[in-house]
Amino acid sequence: MKETERTEDRDSRLLEGVRRRVEAARRDVLPPERVERVVRRVVTGPPPPGSGGALGGAGIGRAGLGFLAGVAVFGGVMWFGFGRDGPGERVQGTEPPRGRPEHEVSLGEGDAERMLQAPRLSQGEERAQTGRSREEAPEGDASGPGRPAASGPAARARGRDGTAVPARPMHRVAGERPGRSAEGRAGERTRSRPDGPGGGAGTSSEYELLLRARVALRQGRPAEALRGLREHRRRHPRGLLRLEREVMRVEALAALGREREARRLAERLWNEPGTESYRHRLRAALRSLKRR
């Protein structure tokens, strides 16, 4: 009601010549299907190439099928788990509310709690274990979205709370369908390579390898992290998360005290295109060397 009054008040102030066009613009919301598609890109990655579904992709081996089955299981778990937990009606229904969004997400208290009840390593514990803390991202995350999308590797596998972070969208390349996540593209790329990643394990394994290495690094096991990174390099020599891997190598080498190697690698990375967003990490790693 209040919202309606406010809108009317605003309209009365709006100049006549502009009003009709603004009204037309207000109905110009993005179609739900398109939003759904983007959400899928963020939360699960795109479907494999070939509209024949999971099995339509050419050259998908046994491990590839395993990966696809994993994705299907994940989708099922999310879908049905959500339906059971409460906000199912809204989540399962593909139609978003037509009205104006409220100031708050209209999740019930219970829903939100259930959503976030999954066990996790608290930040405090994590920091205590790793002995490191990260800078808080500014509100509104101006730094993240403000950067040009192509300025870094398309994905960053590091979230503040140790979770996998989905890939950033990159510049599209010619002939590519718009709206593919970098993660998905990596999957496609790796699938299409003859020497595919670990027998076609896909991007998830690329992520997982790096995430395992990262956790090892954060928990003070740099040698293990380095082994994981080596494995990543072997399986995904030109993977999408290559830069992330190299930066982590610098961090692991620094943590091991292998100064010369760390410095050499950091110097090489410093001027490589796309490493701008990693420089603070390189700097921090080198600074930690000086403190030794």
Partner 1 sequence: MAVEARRDEPEAEGPGGGEGAAGPASDARRVVTLVAREHGPYLGRCLRYLGVTEDELDDALQEVLIVVYRHAARLERHQELRAWLYRVAWHVARAARRKTRRRRARFVLRGSSIEHSGDCGTEECVHEAAEDPERAALAAELRDALDRLPAKLRDAFVLHHVEGLSIREVARVLGCGRQTAHDRVRRAAERLRCLFEGNARETGS
| Residue 229 found at the interface with partner 1 (CB under 8 A) | no
Residue 9 three-state SS: helix
Decide whether 92 or 267 has the Cβ nearer to partner 1. Answer: 92
Tell me how far, at minimum, the Cβ of 268 lies from partner 1, in Å.
27
DSSP code of 200?
T
Does residue 65 bind partner 1 (CB under 8 A)?
no
Distance of closest approach, residue 103 Cβ to partner 1, in angstroms: 5
Near partner 1 by CB under 8 A, which window of 1-9, 192-200, 231-239, 271-279?
1-9
State how far the Cα of 200 lies from the Cα of 64, in Å rounded to an integer.
Answer: 5
Candidates 59, 74, 83, 133; binder of partner 1 (CB under 8 A) is: 74
Q: Is 283 in the site for partner 1 (CB under 8 A)?
A: no
Q: Residue 265 in contact with residue 250, Cβ under 8 Å?
A: yes
Residues 14-33 that bind partner 1 (CB under 8 A): 14-18, 20-33
Residue pair 61/122 in contact by the 8 Å Cβ criterion: no
The closest of 9, 87, 6, 78 to 42, measured between CA atoms, is: 78
Which of 8, 53, 123, 276 is the binder for partner 1 (CB under 8 A)?
123
Residue where the block lists tokens 């930040």: 123
Query: Residue 18 in contact with residue 44, Cβ under 8 Å?
Result: no
What single letter denotes the amino acid at residue 162?
Answer: G
Question: By rule CB under 8 A, what string of x and - marks binding of each residue 165-194 to partner 1?
Answer: xx-xx--x-----xx-x-------------
